Structure 1
């Protein structure tokens, strides 16, 4: 049993289908019953409110309880909805009682006898007129469904059971047909998978003659083979790519240490702490870069805290001012007029902004400017806008700049253009923060990149 591939596919398709059908039918039935019961409860409360309003209105007009028209309403609800009432005055004396109508109807054989063990609920309501208590109303009703309500639920359940049976039959028929068509092209897939396992990255599956169901799988396999071939080529460049990604924190640390050595900065506790944080960020970057490059959408645990955008700009100024000054590029910081709070992982945030700033510095010639400002144009987000007066990018390159290892100008080597990892890391980290990136660029005019971070997680 279950020796052939088709029988296994058929078995598991049926198993999954049956489990899905049972789960869906259960939740449909359960959800409908809950919604229907909630509807009945709300409808009952409306009727009770109507009785209360009518009693208070009648008392306000007459100064005492009268039977007309209140008792007619109580009689209507008792006969049609099994909703009974007992009206007491402020002294506890009963004035009206519709609960005895059911026993009267039972004695005359006009209603079904009460099921054994049937439970009844009662709820008390205080009656007031002009903030003065005039009496108490007790509503009495049976637990669960009654008469037509029960019949309605049974009808719905019957339709659900019929739909489940029909779905089961259809699942069996279509599973048999699907398993037959699926296995017709799996031999080609199996052969190609074996070749791929033997590192034959040039293997491709011919699409002609494949069933529609298998053709898409074959296309995906071919795309996978192409991706693996590309990744094999890129793997050989990994050492250079890693060096590019490490250059940003190393350059920052170098500039800070040289500033200490040359006496430009006093080694204060705050600056030493900033250097230590940068060093620790470098250690973490080394540990996580390989994981980041291993998947298109890496999942990383973020240690989010509340940050002030102005404080972030001040930290960037401290870190990057020496290397900007060394190249002769002016770094301008436009501090926000008020405190702008948002949530982010501080290390990842600094990694993102450092990568973008490093790129801006790299492609901005001496004597030009790079400006960092805070934007609040988008509701629920705080944005960091980094604008440079560098070489810019062609419009057709903008959609691809976040792809790994992509370089718009193929003539750039690692000394000028990098290996194409930095912005892909920025994109991955922004996605992890549930942030957004907007890029505007013109060749020869410069680039503006805005990084939007949500104010709250």
Structure 2
């Protein structure tokens, strides 16, 4: 009982609707009866005031009580309104009495018998002419509603009960529809979540017709599914690329060793050097993978200290100048006019900048330039911009360059000796620093990489 969300929503909607309907119907019926009773009392008072006025006018005109036209009025109210009067003079003598008309009507069967226990109410009014008391008038009428009045109230109550029943039915129907509508959205979420759990990464929740709150959850779910699908594709590509990276040197090593074993090749120093180079390719690959795993470790601890951007540039220049001179590439540094301080892990920072500079050196031909400068046009950040005049890359490749083993040119890293992990390490370490990477590149024009580090943690 009430185990599902829909049953709970349905129960509470119906419960609240029932309480509201009962309260509203009670106040409507109570208020109407009170208002109707007040209306009848005011109407009765007007009729009594009219009788008193007619009696006083007749007395003033004739000097005594006459039966015409006063008794006609009394008779009319007795016959139609069950409003009876007894008229007394100033000596207390009964002059007129219309209350006996009901007994006369009952005897002829012209009036309904009085209900058992029917209560009557009487009210006395003093009659005056020229400020002199001429007598009194006693009005007698039954308490509560009578005849048509009672029938009218019963009819109104019947309509109220019918409206209550109809409202209850509508409340139940609409509560069922609303609970179904709401829970259907949650059922879509539940179904999609189960599909995602079963590795259906293509599942998406349609957003049309969803409530705003559920739509926000659905959007987050769809984004999560897209991210998981992307991660799955990256994992598959990584596995394939890793297998490819391992297969080539292993195949070469196997063929060379088998050639040695079969006596096809003599183990000359040159051939042993070739075998050693293939082995070192495997060693570099494993080392790069270890660095990547260390950089992507969510528990990586950075030993941040305050650094000066100018000092970092000077250290880079001194470290890489011999390598650039050896290849014939000009390394230029544009120092900032003022000291720019920021917080970073010095070793990790140098690892990041070294990887970017190595890439710039690899893909920049002799006679060209590589420029390093400090950028300060981003609030709260200090940037290192490394711009080369190398081969550049296609615009479509830029969003993927930080993926493991990604190559826009499939043969480029083989020529330069890379394994396609260096930029993945850069991205992981920049994320650990909460930094931002901006890349711009054009084919045969060069590449610009700006690494933004927050000034404060």
TM-score range, shorter chain: 0.3 to 0.5
TM-score normalised by the chain length of structure 2: 0.43
